[in-house]
Amino acid sequence: MVILDNGIAAIGFSKTDGSIVYLGDLKRGIRYVERPGTVPFRIEMENGLDSCCSRFSYSRNESFKDGQAYELTWVIEDGIVLNGLIQLDDGSDQIVFKSRLENSSEKSVLAVEYPVIGNMDSISEDDCLAHPYVTGFLVKNPLKSFDEDGGLRFMPYPESFSGASMQFFTYYARGKGGLYAAAYDPDYYQKWLNFYKSGGKLELSHIYGYEDIGAGKGLKADYPFVVKFINGDDWYEAADIYKEWAVRQEWTQKGTLYSRSENEKAVWLLEDTGLSTFGINAKHDRTKWLKAFHDTIGTSIFHILGPDWVNDVQTFGMGVPGGYDDWVPTKFNKENLVLIKEQGDRFAPFEFDFLVDPNKSDSENLKKNLIKWPKDPKSHDGYKFNMLCPCTDYTKDLHIKRDVQVLKEAQVDSMYYDISANNLIKTCMDNSHGHPVGAGREMTLAYREIYKRTKEALSETAGKYIPLGTEMMNEVFIDVLDYYQARAWAQPCSALETWPFSSLMKTGMAQMIPMFTYVYHEYAPVRLDGWGKLVEEIGELYYHTVAKIYLWGGLYELNYEYSPMEAIDGVETRPEEHYWNFEPKGYKFNEERAKYISQFAGLRTGHGNKYLAYGIMKRPVNIRSPKANLDWHHYNHNTNLERGSIEVDAILTSTWLFNGDENASLAVMLANTVNKKEEVTFELDLKSYGLSGRYKLRLFSNFDSKGNAVEESMGEADAAEKQIISIDLEPKKVYMLEVYR
């Protein structure tokens, strides 16, 4: 074994095959790996992943004077050589890996998996994995929770429905220590960031490839992939490390949302909108429900109307459009649109912007421009879609031409794209599209171009800023999109993303965390989430979910994709008028549940707006919340209609910093989500949030839908001194403690 050891960190590799056989945190006394048994790498060729090589050698890089570095060389076969670098700087707790594959053979190499660090035991029984899968996913005790050869085995980036929305993850035990792994790639390259169970142990790996495939073509990962030893101070520790790098990349260079001019952001969405809906029929009269929601909740609503507005058909499983002539003229119900405008609400049409039926209009062109998926996409998703490749001129022109015409006909406020760039691996194997085989980075850049050009064309046509939204979100698109729809914060009473881990979500062994929000909120698109209904039958978890989504900076979403709308005056929507053949339910519209949203909408659009729309999410204050066992009923999907209950915190909290003005201010949000009055006590350490000097404290409560609230002075505080705060929380009420000057 060859050891790199600087007294803080140590890593050892085998002299015989280069595999990692030792990984130790010397400062904290944790040995993550201390035995041989895993492979040093895997190479993907036509027959899949393999780790065979004919010869291995290594040498110390004597020119590197600031620590220790070794260059490792594996001769795979004649003409194919993998070169790896392991580097440990003096005084550093971070190990750096780089690699490149040289190929002078007649064979094609698709991808490289390096490094592979396996044979890891659990740090302790209370260890956790936090990963940017579906924007933020935490698994407790992953060695116990994951099945063999399971877990987050293939996590493509950038792909947030089935993969990684950011380029880091962390494995830790609180108060003991942990690992932080990250790829510091500023250039949009496709990769996989994996943490999984193999051979009864834990294993992490990094894969790159599918960029430019062909005989004689190599691969390289010039960016550093790092493994860093950390304190285990929850997942926030790793997110803080990553954020320091992330906010200096191209996708944040437009500046924070608050700093952008009004023609560079959707002001109405950020500041005026208190609720969203998704999937209300666009083609049929739904004014009864549009009016009831607006009048009862009392806030401005953003409606993403359903897909049933196209000239042909756009449904779930029963047909989608082909070329331009299948999209227009549009078939929106005029009464719906008039009422939305009269009420001061906004709307966007649901659109499969790249998904097409190649056997409909303009069939010949569609077929030539379809993505050719790889045989093995290495993902939870199989990508069984007919999707247009974003790199072709045909796709770019259709996207702009179609959406501008939709705007002209319906005067939309926005466009929403489903199963779009954030849901898809960035791989196309067609060599006739003007991109390399694989494409990778080129596809990400092409999607960015399409969103930019479409938004510019729409805004120019409308004479005002027209925002764009998509299903899901990745960091590489935050500067070209304005909002995104997700469902996972409503789990387990939700659908779609996280489906491979539904059993873990139901037991509480896996949960969603606001990881993406914590890193990017002040720069990022608005999140719409909730998968909600205004009926009693969905259960008591509803109150907790609503509070969580608003306190985590999102907009609650009522969803009608796979089920009827609430029954009003004994009338519910009919399946024959829908784009999915749902079962009638007869569940009545519940005014109490609707009015519960009003206070959160008022917080969002009123006193809490600068925090929840523009603020920086910080670590929450440490509260001791009682537990509550809340029931739920998930009926808004095509399969697996379930009931259950889950134990959650009765009190939710989040902390936000706003520094857009001369004086920074802080807000602690608190929500009691149960029917019992609760007292909460916590320590407020203003210095830990970067504040100094004296501040005033005030408590806002009893928010109405317009943002009005009761204000109570809570005295003053010196940031140099920790404060003990106690607040009585009324049942099912939200509060905001503000620290200000």
Tens digits of per-residue pLDDT, 292-319? 999 999 999 999 999 999 999 999 988 9
The position carrying tokens 């904290």 is: 28
Looking at residue 112, its amino acid is: V
226 closest CA partner among 115, 100, 95: 95
Residue 687 backbone phi and psi in degrees, to 5: -60, -35
**728 vs 294: CA distance, rounded Å:** 31
**Nearest-angstrom CA–CA distance, 120 and 204:** 9
Element (H, E) at 557: strand 555-559
**In this structure, are residues 647 and 506 in contact, taking their beta carbons and an 8 Å threshold?**
no
Confidence (pLDDT) at 36: 86
Q: Which domains does the chain have, with CATH numbers?
A: 2-250 (2.70.98.60), 267-407+473-613 (3.20.20), 627-740 (2.60.40.1180)
Cβ–Cβ under 8 Å, residues 310 and 283: no
Strands 415-417 vs 468-471: parallel, antiparallel or unpaired: parallel
Q: What is the pLDDT of residues 662-683, one digit of tens each?
A: 899 999 999 999 999 999 999 9
Q: Is the peptide bond before 158 cis (omega within 30 degrees of 0)?
A: yes
C-alpha closest to that of 499 among 628, 371, 634, 629: 634
Task: Quote the tokens at residue 729.
Answer: 């929380």
Instruction: Enter the DSSP assignment of 490.
Output: G
**pLDDT band of 5, cuts 50, 70, 90:** very high
Bridge partners for 559 per DSSP: 278
Q: Whole-angstrom Cα distance, residue 565 to residue 574?
A: 9
**Distance of alpha carbon 379 from the chain centroid:** 16
CA angle 158, 617, 663 (to 5 degrees): 130
Q: Which residues contact 102 (CB under 8 A, 6 or more apart)?
A: 80, 81, 82, 83, 218
Residue-wise DSSP of 120-182: EPPS-TTEEEEE-BTT-EEEESHHHHSPTT-EE---EET-TTTSBSSSEEEEEETTTEEEEEE
Give the whole-number percent of the chain exceeding pLDDT 70. Answer: 100
Beta-bridge mates of residue 74 = 56, 82
Residue 81 gets the label, from left (phi > 0), alpha (psi -120 to 50) or beta, of beta
Q: What is the distance between the alpha carbons of residues 198 and 51, in angstroms, rounded to a whole number?
A: 15
Q: What is the mean pLDDT of residues 132-150?
A: 97
- Binned at pLDDT 50, 70 and 90, residue 638 comes out as confident
Burial letters 556-568, b for 16+ CB under 10 A, else e: bbbbbbbbbbbbb
pLDDT of res. 549: 99
Omega of the bond leading into 731 within 30 degrees of 0 (cis): no
Q: What sections of 637-719 are H helices per DSSP?
A: none
Q: How many residues does the chain have?
A: 741
pLDDT digits (tens, 9 = 90+) for 591-611: 999 999 999 999 999 999 999
Q: Which residue has the tokens 């379930």?
A: 642
Q: Are 383 and 438 in contact (CB under 8 A)?
A: no
**Dmax over Cα atoms in the chain, in whole Å?**
81
Tell me the two tokens of residue 599: 């206070």
Looking at residue 475, the DSSP 8-state letter turns out to be G
Q: Which amino acid is at 294?
A: H
Name the band, by pLDDT with cuts 50, 70 and 90, for residue 403.
Answer: very high
Question: What per-residue confidence (pLDDT) applies to 47?
Answer: 83
Average pLDDT score over the chain = 97
Task: Report the C-alpha gap between 489 and 501 in whole angstroms.
Answer: 14
User: Around 639, how many Cα atoms within 13 Å sit in the side-chain half-sphere?
Assistant: 2
Q: What is the 3-state secondary structure (H, E, C) of 419-433?
A: CCHHHCCCEECCCCC
Q: Which of 99, 171, 182 is nearest to 475 (CA)?
A: 182
Q: Which pLDDT tens digit goes with each residue over 353-396?
A: 999 999 999 999 999 999 999 999 999 999 999 999 999 999 99
- Percent over 90 (pLDDT), the chain: 96
Q: Is the dihedral of CA 423, 427, 433, 434 positive or negative?
A: positive
**Position 639 confidence tier, pLDDT thresholds 50, 70, 90:** low
The band of 65, judged by pLDDT with boundaries at 50, 70 and 90, is very high
Please report the pLDDT score of residue 640 as a whole number: 60
Distance CA 396, CA 389 (A): 9
The reported pLDDT for the residue numbered 49 is 86
Strand-pair partners of 648: 628
> What's the pLDDT score for residue 40?
97
- CB neighbours of 425 closer than 8 A, spacing ≥ 6? 156, 159, 163, 190, 210, 373, 374, 377, 378, 379, 381, 383
CA angle 147, 153, 157 (to 5 degrees): 150
| Other residues' Cβ atoms within 10 Å of the Cβ of residue 472 | 27
Q: Are 169 and 238 in contact (CB under 8 A)?
A: yes
User: Cα torsion for 547, 552, 553, 554, to the nearest 10°?
Assistant: -60
pLDDT range class, residue 641, cuts 50, 70, 90: confident
Burial of residue 629 (CB within 10 Å: 0-12, 13-18, 19+) is: exposed
Give the strand pairing for 468-471 and 483-485. parallel
Q: How far apart are CA 169 and CA 181, in angstroms?
A: 6
Q: What is the pLDDT of residue 340?
A: 99
| Helix axis angle, 334-342 to 287-297, nearest 10° | 20
**How confident is residue 484, by pLDDT bands cut at 50, 70 and 90?**
very high
Radius of gyration of the chain (CA): 26
Specify the pLDDT at position 637: 87
